[in-house]
Chains A and B, each alone.
Chain A
């Protein structure tokens, strides 16, 4: 529980942070520290230097920018969970944030850190995928916008390059749609054994579209496209059958708490439950 030696930098601007990353190729960015510091204390991570993003102003915000909501990378989970803006215009992300860990984790952990960490059982990725959110980054070559579907590339790996900093997450407004996040929490860690996030749009009595992001089942969070396709234009009664495809083509992970087979089963159950709840919350056009 005692980390190896490291140096500590606390830049005041993003530019400074980028320069520091440049000159310390093995340095790690520090946000809430709730993934990085435990790993360092167990010496699973031994970065020679930490670059603390915490002193850089204006990375902690939730703003209405017209067609979407913008969330600063350093916004803690608790702020996302309790954001009135989000609850009104894009509640899925808030619901996912509210289910993360415990109070301390939600007060310290940040959205940028969680996405960069890309833990296979993290909650945000399911919501980010279902929302088709965008991840805004900054590197030496300038600002980049990475669509959610291209962001998660594997277990603990993302499309981020070594010296790229997440600055913002953009989520669309989902007014009128119904959204829900259903999670089966691990009793020890609190992480999602399975987490299903969905945004459902209704047309009359039919499901116009359903977007479904699933975390915890495979090493990489994914969109349950088979379920989405099976539901397009279908009535609510199609949900039960369609949900059975929640893990189609997915290679599930397993551990002593939940085997791959059980996880696939949970994916189906929680997909159905999330869809039912989201549909009940949707307003018909």
Chain B
């Protein structure tokens, strides 16, 4: 079991009740565990049709002809549509804006050319999904294959084939970020450490793939779209724009959403095509993505190659960082494709004082699926890069990786801390989380065992990752489509509370944590509070759930809306008691004076508000308040992870022996849910380090097109996690919360790679790129060792002794 004891109970912040900080089981779970909840695929509407897409088998090709005749002849087929049928339907939107960005047109169905495997070229609608699938197989498309642009570095060559002819280049943008005296830094440096580091392409693979159900009611002229999305309101706006419908006639509902990890922070072509079909055919249409489609045509994540140079003084002080980063964007943009890599630039100095930076990010177009936000979105890339560089620097300077980190941390008194990349870290104590993690891991003992092990040909390694990340997204000035969040809190006539949140939880558990928060403030119980989300007809306009924002931004909106009602209720209570409304306290179903001498029941005040006979003069009846919260800054959770591994030199396999994570996400509303987020996050980070990799071959074919090839982490792959936390409240919001959805993924990945490279250090191995697949590790060991076989071990041992 994870250890949480320490921070527990002290996380109450400014809460007036006792629900905040409790390990409260999720209200969502009973219905999810029993399978009685409703996902998109569970919706069955009368007369509903089923849609299947015909997708490109080529990475790059000209569509020579399309023949739908045999598909149309399949019994039960109602329609087969091509790009030209979608006349007037808008392109798939991209909200990312950058100077001189080349933005390719991205039609929902391919016109003339296909540019990645899985690009939709036709849609088939039929009475049942079998007929739809059968007919989709019969749509005959003749392609003239073209050379595919697959390798993002080769794509940069002058004579490279082009993904989009009209741009005459595959470079979508170049984004510089420069600050401080970089030349001076490198001139003054005693040591310059250089490395090329790869963040491989990953597939988000949420348990539930995408799914869209649409129904158009011609009488009411309303289009309802049920979509498995993280952003119902933005989707509603974009659907209305793409289809040319007034936004007032479009309603988006998110049924239960089985995970997203950023992949559903998006607007996909299918989300226009399916509603369009439903309107044209006058019948509801359902499309549920298959896993194969999910691997091909739902956004991917990461895919960056970074060339780094770190300038250091002999004592380990970092003077400057140069980074040239190539980011593979894929063939078209999804909602945030081009801007994700720019987040890497913002966070690339990690939790270190690096006074000078010179960063340049080049976005590259290739014949692959678009990359976009995947758990961490730009920040895991940054953390990986800086954490690896700091370790490499420590190796070079013969310093302990702990020492070099401590040397470069800002002091706790230096917060808010301005980074050279232009962001302001709100609050932190990096020394504290590192110390806690080292203590829990038994760092000194681990090092001693490592040295002893090397002498016996055992390759033990210890990896650290001290990370900071950007959460609580974010101030609107820094966001592509608004960074605020909305909440409406309504006390119903019976005294139960309804919370409407613009956040759109899809596994994070805000139905529980927001209920805890509101119950806490009102002095009620969480079961008295219902949290409604994901229905644009019920909930005021909101932004959604991503970027670890739902609690820090959405929760704060709930907090303020609750405060508004509390002050109204205080005024009514005071009026009823005939006293001044100042300093009344809510608790145990009562509103009372501080000294508890006078009180009035919570229900009594609610009744007064609704009966409207005994209200203070001039006061509006009812008990409902809405708040739109605009954060003044991001929040910056941080932490320290320590991982110890053993590498089998014979097979190259890595075994994680111990994993310690100390995370600081500010105040904690529900430790149980925070642990869950950290667990899942660590697992996804470990998986990037060791297993996961989207592979396209040189023709642009997706090799890892199924879960038999794409290695998602499984329970049997996981070590025991030892969790702990420190609590450094954020000054950015009144609850002092920061966000925790992505922290585990961001922190964990470099810890594992650092551990493996540390284990192999006696062999002179400096770096191996992720994923650390056994063969790759084995080959690196083979290369480092010299034949003949008999000499292997002794050679390794003698090097180990020298190091020791």
List residues of chain A with CB under 8 Å of any chain B CB.
1-2, 4-5, 42-43, 102, 184, 186-189, 256-259, 262, 265-266, 269
Using A5-B130, A5-B134, A42-B292 as known contacts, say yes or no to A265 and B778 having CB atoms under 8 A apart.
yes
A188–B778 touching, CB < 8 Å: no
A4–B134 touching, CB < 8 Å: yes
The 4 closest A-B pairs by CB, nearest first: A188-B711, A187-B711, A1-B290, A2-B133
B693 (CB) vs chain A CBs: closest residue: A256
Chain B nearest CB, measured from A45 CB (Å): 14
A256–B703 touching, CB < 8 Å: yes
1/0 per residue, CB under 8 A from A, across B657-677: the answer is 000000000000000000000
A269–B650 touching, CB < 8 Å: yes
B775–A262 touching, CB < 8 Å: yes
Q: A188-B708, A258-B775 known; 7 other A-B pairs, CB under 8 Å?
A: A4-B134, A102-B714, A188-B711, A257-B775, A258-B774, A262-B774, A265-B778
Contacts of A187 in B (CB 8 A): 690-691, 711, 714, 717
B768-797 at interface with A (beta carbon < 8 Å) = 773-775, 778-779
Alpha-carbon gap, A189 to B704, bound state (A): 12
Using A184-B651, A188-B711 as known contacts, say yes or no to A1 and B775 having CB atoms under 8 A apart.
no
Can you name 22 A-B pairs with beta carbons within 8 Å? A1-B292, A2-B129, A2-B130, A2-B133, A4-B133, A5-B130, A5-B134, A42-B292, A102-B714, A184-B774, A186-B711, A187-B691, A187-B711, A187-B714, A187-B717, A188-B691, A188-B711, A189-B709, A257-B775, A259-B775, A262-B774, A269-B651
B652 (CB) vs chain A CBs: closest residue: A262
Contacts of B650 in A (CB 8 A): 269
Chain B nearest CB, measured from A276 CB (Å): 13
Alpha-carbon gap, A43 to B292, bound state (A): 12
Contacts of B192 in A (CB 8 A): none
1/0 per residue, CB under 8 A from A, across B110-152: the answer is 0000000000000000000110011001000000000000000
Contacts of B291 in A (CB 8 A): 1
Q: Is B707 an interface residue (CB 8 A)?
A: yes
Chain B nearest CB, measured from A102 CB (Å): 8
A244 (CB) vs chain B CBs: closest residue: B789
Alpha-carbon gap, A186 to B291, bound state (A): 20
Alpha-carbon gap, A95 to B157, bound state (A): 54
B695–A188 touching, CB < 8 Å: no
Q: Is B610 an interface residue (CB 8 A)?
A: no
Q: Is B443 an interface residue (CB 8 A)?
A: no
Contacts of B717 in A (CB 8 A): 187
Q: Which of B130, B133, B712, B773 contacts A257 (CB 8 A)?
A: B773
B695–A189 touching, CB < 8 Å: no
Contacts of B24 in A (CB 8 A): none
Chain B nearest CB, measured from A118 CB (Å): 17
Contacts of B307 in A (CB 8 A): none
Q: Is B710 an interface residue (CB 8 A)?
A: yes
Contacts of B290 in A (CB 8 A): 1-2
Chain B nearest CB, measured from A214 CB (Å): 16
B129 (CB) vs chain A CBs: closest residue: A2
B695–A256 touching, CB < 8 Å: yes
Q: Which of A4, A188, A269 contacts B712 (CB 8 A)?
A: A188
Q: Which of B137, B651, B695, B779 contacts A43 (CB 8 A)?
A: B137
Total contacts A to B, CB within 8 angstroms?
51
A188–B292 touching, CB < 8 Å: no
Alpha-carbon gap, A184 to B703, bound state (A): 21
A2 (CB) vs chain B CBs: closest residue: B133
Chain A nearest CB, measured from B290 CB (Å): 4
Alpha-carbon gap, A256 to B134, bound state (A): 32
Alpha-carbon gap, A1 to B774, bound state (A): 31
Alpha-carbon gap, A2 to B704, bound state (A): 20
Using A184-B651, A187-B717, A269-B650 as known contacts, say yes or no to A256 and B704 having CB atoms under 8 A apart.
yes
Chain B nearest CB, measured from A273 CB (Å): 9
Alpha-carbon gap, A2 to B289, bound state (A): 11
Contacts of A258 in B (CB 8 A): 774-775
Alpha-carbon gap, A42 to B137, bound state (A): 12
Contacts of A2 in B (CB 8 A): 129-130, 133, 290
Alpha-carbon gap, A102 to B717, bound state (A): 13
B130 (CB) vs chain A CBs: closest residue: A2
Alpha-carbon gap, A15 to B134, bound state (A): 34
Contacts of A256 in B (CB 8 A): 695, 703-704, 709
B707-724 at interface with A (beta carbon < 8 Å) = 707-712, 714, 717
1/0 per residue, CB under 8 A from A, across B583-607: the answer is 0000000000000000000000000
B775 (CB) vs chain A CBs: closest residue: A262
Contacts of B137 in A (CB 8 A): 4, 43
Alpha-carbon gap, A187 to B690, bound state (A): 10
Contacts of B129 in A (CB 8 A): 2
Alpha-carbon gap, A102 to B292, bound state (A): 21
B288 (CB) vs chain A CBs: closest residue: A1
Alpha-carbon gap, A5 to B779, bound state (A): 47
Contacts of A188 in B (CB 8 A): 691, 707-712
Alpha-carbon gap, A195 to B572, bound state (A): 76
Alpha-carbon gap, A182 to B366, bound state (A): 42
B627-650 at interface with A (beta carbon < 8 Å) = 650
Contacts of A265 in B (CB 8 A): 778
Contacts of B778 in A (CB 8 A): 262, 265
A189–B708 touching, CB < 8 Å: yes
Chain A nearest CB, measured from B785 CB (Å): 13
Chain B nearest CB, measured from A180 CB (Å): 17
Alpha-carbon gap, A269 to B781, bound state (A): 15
Contacts of B134 in A (CB 8 A): 4-5
B789 (CB) vs chain A CBs: closest residue: A244
1/0 per residue, CB under 8 A from A, across B260-291: the answer is 00000000000000000000000000000011
Chain A nearest CB, measured from B644 CB (Å): 20
Contacts of B711 in A (CB 8 A): 186-188
Contacts of A266 in B (CB 8 A): 651
Alpha-carbon gap, A187 to B714, bound state (A): 8
Alpha-carbon gap, A256 to B710, bound state (A): 10
Chain B nearest CB, measured from A33 CB (Å): 16
Alpha-carbon gap, A42 to B691, bound state (A): 24
> Considering residues B690, B711, B712, which has the most beta carbons from chain A within 10 angstroms of its beta carbon?
B711
Chain B nearest CB, measured from A113 CB (Å): 17
Contacts of A184 in B (CB 8 A): 651, 774
B776 (CB) vs chain A CBs: closest residue: A262
Alpha-carbon gap, A5 to B129, bound state (A): 12
Chain A nearest CB, measured from B286 CB (Å): 13
Alpha-carbon gap, A118 to B774, bound state (A): 26
Chain B nearest CB, measured from A233 CB (Å): 25
Contacts of B707 in A (CB 8 A): 188
Chain A nearest CB, measured from B457 CB (Å): 15
Alpha-carbon gap, A42 to B707, bound state (A): 13
Alpha-carbon gap, A262 to B714, bound state (A): 24
Alpha-carbon gap, A184 to B775, bound state (A): 12
Alpha-carbon gap, A235 to B717, bound state (A): 37
B712 (CB) vs chain A CBs: closest residue: A188
Alpha-carbon gap, A2 to B708, bound state (A): 18
A268 (CB) vs chain B CBs: closest residue: B650
